């Protein structure tokens, strides 16, 4: 196996605006303006090479799924440029666009492989929008839960998150210029310049109507990413000038914007039960100004937030309320009228 060393990435400082409360002053409620200092995003190593393809990861759906997998006839890998991507949830839109595809492009570049000559193996239940995204980049996909036998491309980031400092550079591969240009050319250009990416179901804003009205007065058009095709989602990010978005997988196409492109501002609305700097870092890497707005805390969030003995994720998918005063404050801070 060969090894690619990934150096840490130094983020710039940034700001996070919280919901107004009496935590600043007990008489006049106000928003906290939290200064997020510069910090290093951990790097690591990407091991890669050729060898016998690994057995597929066992399905999470226990006994019936395991029995079904055991009865599947193995599939022969058609050539050495086969990537078995069936781990670390490639069926998730953000994981596929932001993790699996960049690894494929990076390893192809190291081996001087044309990505269009590669075969990506994905789980049998892979959604159409994932295979559609692969097709946009000219990649061939095989969806199966069966073992794939033969020699193929092996890869192992250590740790898995170590690709965060460099994946924005990996997707600048010359092999992507033509597919991205084709997406730009083929997707209808009648798109608004200010976008509000909302969510349905989990992690959705409880005051969505009021939030939408406030943003509409600022010229933002509400969009649900799942209503768009993969090409439309990518094109939206490559054409918009400003995006307000609830944190989630809908932000994944941010990785594919051009540094000198139209997108200048990203206001990320974060749920207090699911705080992360993933898209803050990504925005800086692609030349987009970022500011965070944190939703209102619920009492049950407090105790777990100070329990450092376990990962803070119990309330990760809760719906939450966005403080419109905090949103207005964020707009003032970044000078976006």
Question: What is the mean pLDDT for each group of 10 consecutive residues in the chain (337 residues)?
Answer: 97 97 94 97 98 80 56 88 96 98 97 95 96 96 95 97 97 90 83 94 96 98 96 95 97 96 97 95 98 96 90 93 97 93
Angle of helix 324-334 relative to helix 208-216, nearest 10 degrees, comes to: 30
What's the pLDDT score for residue 175? 87
Tokens 């033969």 sit on residue: 150
CA 53/CA 299 separation, integer angstroms? 48
Burial (0-12, 13-18, 19+ Cβ within 10 Å), 254 = buried
Burial (0-12, 13-18, 19+ Cβ within 10 Å), 181 = exposed
What's the pLDDT score for residue 249? 96
Bridge partners (DSSP) of residue 30 are 21
Q: Which helix (H) or strand (E) holds 177?
A: helix 174-186
What's the pLDDT score for residue 188? 73
CA angle 85–91–97, rounded 5-degree value: 75
DSSP secondary structure letters along 256-273: GS-TTSS--EEEEEE-TT
**How crowded is residue 333: how many other Cβ atoms within 10 Å of its Cβ?**
14
**How crowded is residue 67: how many other Cβ atoms within 10 Å of its Cβ?**
9
């Amino acid at each position: 196996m060969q090894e690619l060393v990934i150096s840490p990435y130094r983020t710039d400082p940034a700001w996070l605006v919280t919901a107004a409360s009496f935590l600043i002053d007990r008489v006049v409620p106000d928003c906290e303006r939290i200064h997020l200092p510069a910090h290093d995003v951990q790097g690591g190593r990407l091991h890669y090479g050729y060898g016998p393809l690994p057995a597929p990861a066992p399905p999470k759906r226990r006994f019936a799924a395991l029995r079904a997998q055991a009865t599947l006839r193995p599939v022969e890998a058609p050539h050495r440029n086969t990537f078995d991507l069936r781990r670390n949830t490639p069926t998730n839109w953000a994981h596929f666009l932001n993790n699996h595809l960049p690894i494929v492009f990076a390893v192809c570049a190291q081996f001087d492989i044309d990505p269009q000559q590669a075969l990506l193996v994905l789980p049998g239940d892979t959604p159409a929008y994932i295979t559609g995204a692969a097709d946009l980049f000219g990649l061939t996909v095989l969806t199966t839960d069966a073992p794939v036998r033969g020699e193929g491309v092996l890869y192992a980031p250590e740790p898995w998150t170590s690709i965060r400092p460099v994946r924005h550079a990996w997707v600048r591969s010359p092999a992507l210029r033509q597919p991205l240009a084709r997406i730009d050319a083929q997707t209808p250009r009648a798109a608004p310049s200010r976008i509000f990416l909302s969510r349905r179901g989990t992690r959705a804003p409880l005051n969505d109507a009021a939030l939408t009205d406030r943003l509409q007065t600022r010229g933002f058009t509400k969009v649900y990413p799942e209503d768009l095709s993969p090409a439309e989602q990518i094109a939206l990010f490559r054409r918009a000038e400003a995006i307000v978005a609830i944190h989630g997988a809908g932000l994944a196409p941010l990785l594919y914007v051009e540094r000198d492109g139209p997108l200048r501002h990203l206001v990320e609305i974060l749920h207090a039960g699911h705080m992360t700097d993933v898209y803050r870092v990504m925005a800086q890497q692609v030349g987009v100004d970022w500011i965070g707005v944190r939703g209102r805390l619920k009492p049950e969030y407090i105790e777990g937030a100070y329990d450092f003995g376990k990962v803070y994720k119990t309330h990760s998918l809760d719906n939450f309320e966005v403080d419109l005063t905090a949103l207005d404050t964020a707009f003032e801070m970044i000078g976006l009228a």
